[in-house]
Amino acid sequence: VEKGGDLAVARVVEGEDFFVKELTAYTDKFNHSWLKEELYNSRNFGPAMHKFGQWIGGAFNFIDQNVFKVPFTLHDLVQDHAALKTQAAESFKPTYPKPDGKLTFDRLSSVFVSNTVHEENQPAHLKLTDASIPVEVNLPTWDEPAQRYCPAGVYEIMENNDGSKRFQINAANCVHCKTCDIKDPSQNITWVTPEGGGGPNYPNM
């Protein structure tokens, strides 16, 4: 991501019109950079792991990246959101050790370190196509995976006084990874640009 940004800035500094819809010279710059070569060489990594599993996929990737380059490209034919296991799956819920506060941390502590800031009382930038789906569909089928795949604890299933469940969105915690937009099994969440450019601020990067 950093190298891609460097290339874009370089094209602007070198005189390309910043206000055109597409920075065409950026594509040429990218195609002749080490970034494209690096991405191309690792193109089979994810699909191999998904198709063949950890051991065979890992062996395939070792050969592809260290012994000789395979003359073809693997493709993921199943989208991420369609590959999610249901509650009936034997390995549905992984068990993770409790964060020790030294090497591993809970999600809210990590959000604090990210210096995430959003303006208060702004419209939520995480949109639900159907507000009933999280509780009525995702919860019984997948135990509402947004509770787990979001690294910032944005999504929670809360219990009302009458015992019913409700879906809560803590939009101010969002670090804009867009995992929810990609991974939601019902494709019910849409990430849009937040007001005022709010989000994480990593000053030491």
| pLDDT (tens digit per residue) in 63-100 | 998 898 889 999 988 888 888 888 765 556 677 888 88
Q: Which band of pLDDT confidence, cut at 50, 70 and 90, is reported for residue 20?
A: low
Judged against a pLDDT cut of 90, whether residue 184 lies above it is answered with yes
Q: What percent of the chain has pLDDT over 90?
A: 33
Task: Give the pLDDT confidence score for residue 11 in this predicted structure.
Answer: 59
Task: Give the pLDDT confidence score for residue 77 in this predicted structure.
Answer: 86
**N- to C-terminal Cα separation, the chain:** 12
Cβ-count burial of 94 within 10 angstroms (0-12 exposed, 13-18 middle, 19+ buried)?
exposed
Which residues partner with 158 through β-bridges? 166
What is the rounded distance in angstroms from the CA atom of residue 20 to the CA atom of residue 26?
12
Boundary residue ending a domain (78, 103, 119): 78
Q: What is the pLDDT of residues 125-166, one digit of tens each?
A: 899 999 999 999 999 988 899 999 999 899 999 999 998 999
pLDDT, greater one: 121 or 22: 121
Structural domain of 124: 83-197
> Is 32 inside a domain boundary?
yes
Task: Give the pLDDT confidence score for residue 96 in this predicted structure.
Answer: 80
> Is 203 inside a domain boundary?
no
Residues 91 and 73 in one domain: no
CATH number at 155 reads 3.30.70.20
Cβ-count burial of 75 within 10 angstroms (0-12 exposed, 13-18 middle, 19+ buried)?
exposed
Averaged pLDDT for residues 96-119: 82
Task: Give the pLDDT confidence score for residue 166 in this predicted structure.
Answer: 94
Task: Give the pLDDT confidence score for residue 50 in this predicted structure.
Answer: 87
What is the rounded distance in angstroms from the CA atom of residue 158 to the CA atom of residue 72?
48
Boundary residue ending a domain (78, 110, 145): 78
**Inter-residue contact 69 to 41 (CB < 8 Å):** yes
Task: Give the pLDDT confidence score for residue 185 in this predicted structure.
Answer: 94
The pTM for the full model equals 0.70
pLDDT, greater one: 12 or 155: 155
Task: Give the pLDDT confidence score for residue 86 in this predicted structure.
Answer: 80
Boundary residue ending a domain (55, 78, 101): 78
> Is 138 inside a domain boundary?
yes
Total domains, the chain: 2
What is the rounded distance in angstroms from the CA atom of residue 145 to the CA atom of residue 158?
14
